[in-house]
């Protein structure tokens, strides 16, 4: 029950079902490429376009199954040789993916009567947004030859650099109190009740980074350099503008969000300074005590207890949300525990091919681990809604990706706080939430600053590990200010965050802040409307694959370009900070 069941995808890599599907995928790719040259089929434009999209649906679902199986196996065991072999085989398809994408875009570009075709076909109308977005993407698309070449080169560029970072961080170990611990296990000790253990683990974490930083620095430089280069050829002004375009997000929305975040920093620094005093520190909170538990936090929750807790809290929101969690638990969708070779952190993978999700966590038994599990189940709930849509309308972007997950966090945290029986329990639950909010607002801002600086630095040189360490320290100082002790920062945070190491996905940081504050706004509306709001939420989640982010928000009467919306969410955190200070001062 502690590892996930991947059998609904495939029994194993050698199974006939997996091998046959791999052959089928290659064949489908060739069939679709040939279909674009079928002049007879193209005579009836409606039938041709309908047939083309149905082929793309089949191709998308099959791709989801095959790549999902490979990636899930590699995440659970980065040294899985069978998964590595299959990934190499599938890389031969990447150039065809690029060519298929290019052929589709250019076919849509040539249609001067698209609106007439949509009127004639209810099926095609389901994909209106897909067509509109495809036309916008043409402005950032290179020629077919260059797109294919880029795809081939990325197999030996950002793809391998990303694998190197995963390998180095997942395999790194260090001696700690008589036994070998992985980087993930060392980082989990930041939540220890033992102050000396937290501090010692902090130094060991920095030591691990020193052992692997040079190799990972080359990985980061390689990826950021690749993105900078491709941006010029794809007519993006900057990697940030590319991220905004891919996020379906206006720059005005991001600016409103960042403005509100910066204005809230004095509140967060007040919290950090108060916590520092409670722990006996004079110059702000040292990094090794950022996650120091407050209140009575000795209780460890078994996996079964975590499941029971989540089911109860989800049930207080809706039977549908609880039902999703029950399905995930009963059908073994989750890989829970940390181990050598398993990637750190947590994620949820929604698989259109089987209309199910799989979740990876590194569960340690704390209340924070339960909240993380609730977060990932929120992603699975989002997936359940998206699976009700047409298959090609399933792609939602980074900012809204964190909406359901953060909402589920909020449900669990608020309910747990209400049910707390003692002051010490309340302090612990409230402070755990403040830790998370600080990470999502303040630390995310530091990551945003770091990534901007990393892209700029890469334009001028190949930064060293020491360069990146300094950039990270400067970003942390700017975001945290005097809330933390500048003698005890964490210069290696760029090493373990996998979000920096994706060639096709830059700035995966601000979406977390977006998700937190957007979810708070949604939760406030739920409190106002009660059960009647749940269908509206489901409609919103389903729309995330076929609308711009700002349009999605209007479904629940939210204007994302208005800073006052974001500030309202941050005021609720400020209230939590005041309550924490009050509770711990009496």
Per-residue pLDDT at 459: 96
CA pair distance 371, 75, nearest whole angstrom: 21
CA pair distance 572, 420, nearest whole angstrom: 19
Cα–Cα distances in Å, from 254 out to 224, 434, 552?
Answer: 21, 23, 15
CA pair distance 563, 552, nearest whole angstrom: 17
Q: Both tokens of residue 2?
A: 């502690």
Per-residue pLDDT at 368: 79
Per-residue pLDDT at 416: 78
User: CB of 468 within 8 A of CB of 220?
Assistant: yes
CA pair distance 173, 179, nearest whole angstrom: 10
Q: Both tokens of residue 42?
A: 């193209």
Distance of CA 76 to the CA centre of its chain: 17
pLDDT in tens, the chain (586 residues): 799 999 999 999 999 999 999 999 999 999 999 999 999 999 999 999 999 999 999 999 999 999 999 999 999 999 999 999 999 999 888 888 888 999 999 999 889 899 999 999 999 999 999 999 999 999 998 988 998 899 889 989 999 999 999 999 999 999 999 999 999 899 999 999 999 999 999 999 999 999 999 999 999 999 999 999 999 999 999 999 999 999 999 999 999 999 999 999 999 999 999 999 999 999 999 999 999 999 986 678 899 999 999 999 999 999 999 999 999 999 999 999 999 899 888 999 999 999 999 999 999 988 779 989 999 999 999 999 999 999 999 999 988 988 899 899 889 988 778 877 788 988 988 998 899 899 999 999 999 999 999 999 999 999 999 999 999 999 999 999 999 999 999 999 999 999 999 999 999 999 989 999 998 888 888 888 999 999 999 999 999 999 999 999 999 999 999 999 999 999 999 999 999 999 999 7
Give the pairing type, strands 334-335 and 347-351. Answer: unpaired
Distance of CA 37 to the CA centre of its chain: 38
Q: What are phi and psi of 173, to 5 degrees?
A: -135, 160
Distance of CA 46 to the CA centre of its chain: 37
Domains and CATH numbers, the chain: 16-156 (1.20.140.70), 162-297+421-583 (1.10.1370.20)
Beta bridge partners of 174: 181
List the alpha helices (DSSP H) in 9-143.
16-35, 45-76, 81-90, 94-110, 114-120, 122-125, 128-137
User: CB of 160 within 8 A of CB of 86?
Assistant: no
Confidence (pTM)? 0.84
Per-residue pLDDT at 47: 96
- Which residue pairs, CB below 8 angstroms and at least 24 apart, start in 195-202? 195/279, 195/289, 195/292, 198/288, 198/289, 198/291, 198/292, 199/286, 199/288, 199/289, 200/176, 201/176, 201/288, 202/286, 202/287, 202/288, 202/488, 202/490
């Amino acid at each position: 029950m502690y590892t996930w069941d991947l059998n609904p995808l495939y029994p194993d890599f050698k199974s006939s079902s997996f091998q046959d599907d791999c052959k089928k995928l290659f064949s489908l790719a060739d069939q679709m490429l040939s279909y674009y040259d079928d002049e007879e089929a193209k005579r009836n434009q409606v039938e041709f376009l309908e047939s083309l999209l149905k082929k793309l649906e089949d191709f998308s679902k099959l791709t989801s199954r095959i790549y999902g199986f490979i990636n899930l196996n590699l995440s659970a065991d980065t040294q899985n040789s069978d998964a590595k072999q299959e990934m190499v085989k599938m890389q031969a398809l990447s150039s065809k993916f690029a060519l298929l994408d290019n052929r589709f875009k250019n076919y849509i570009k040539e249609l001067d009567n698209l609106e007439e075709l949509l009127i004639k076909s209810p099926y095609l109308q389901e994909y209106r947004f897909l067509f509109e977005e495809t036309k916008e993407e043409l402005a950032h698309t290179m020629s077919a030859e260059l797109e294919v070449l880029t795809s081939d080169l990325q197999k030996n560029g950002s793809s391998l650099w990303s694998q190197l970072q995963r390998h180095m961080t997942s395999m790194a170990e260090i001696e700690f109190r008589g036994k070998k611990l992985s980087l993930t296990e060392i980082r989990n000790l930041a939540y220890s009740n033992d102050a000396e253990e937290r501090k010692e683990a902090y130094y060991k974490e920095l030591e691990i980074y020193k052992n692997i930083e040079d190799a990972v620095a080359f990985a980061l430089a390689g990826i950021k350099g690749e993105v900078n280069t491709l941006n010029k050829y794809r007519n993006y002004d900057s990697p940030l503008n590319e991220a905004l375009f891919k996020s379906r997000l206006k720059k005005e929305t991001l600016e409103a969000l960042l403005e509100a975040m910066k204005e809230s920093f004095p509140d967060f620094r007040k919290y950090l300074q108060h916590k520092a005093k409670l722990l006996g520190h004079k110059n702000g909170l040292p990094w090794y005590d950022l996650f120091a538990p407050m209140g009575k936090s000795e209780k460890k929750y078994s996996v079964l207890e975590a499941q029971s807790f989540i089911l109860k809290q989800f049930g207080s929101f809706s039977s549908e949300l609880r039902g999703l969690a029950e399905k995930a638990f009963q059908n073994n969708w989750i890989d829970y525990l940390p181990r050598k070779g398993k990637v750190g952190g947590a994620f949820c993978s929604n698989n259109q091919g089987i209309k199910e999700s799989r979740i990876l966590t590194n569960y340690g038994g704390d209340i924070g681990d339960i909240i993380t599990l609730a977060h990932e189940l929120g992603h699975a709930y989002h997936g359940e809604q998206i699976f009700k849509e047409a298959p090609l309308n399933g792609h939602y972007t980074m900012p809204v990706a964190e909406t359901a997950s953060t909402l589920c966090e909020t449900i669990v945290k608020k309910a747990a706080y209400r049910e707390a029986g003692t002051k010490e329990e309340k302090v612990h639950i409230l402070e755990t939430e403040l830790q998370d909010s600080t990470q999502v607002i303040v630390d995310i801002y530091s990551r945003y600053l770091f990534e901007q600086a990393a892209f700029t630095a890469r334009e001028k040189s190949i930064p060293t590990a020491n360069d990146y360490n300094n950039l990270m320290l400067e970003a942390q100082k700017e975001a945290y200010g005097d809330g933390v002790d500048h003698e005890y920062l964490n210069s290696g945070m760029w090493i373990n965050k996998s979000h920096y190491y994706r060639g096709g996905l830059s700035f995966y940081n601000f979406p977390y802040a977006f998700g937190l504050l957007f979810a708070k706004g949604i939760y406030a509306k739920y409190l106002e409307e009660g059960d009647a709001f749940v269908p509206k939420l489901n409609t919103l989640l389903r729309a995330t694959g076929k609308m711009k982010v700002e349009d999605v928000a209007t479904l629940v009467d939210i204007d994302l370009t208005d800073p006052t919306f974001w500030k309202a969410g941050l005021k609720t955190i400020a209230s939590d900070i005041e309550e924490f200070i009050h509770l711990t001062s009496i």
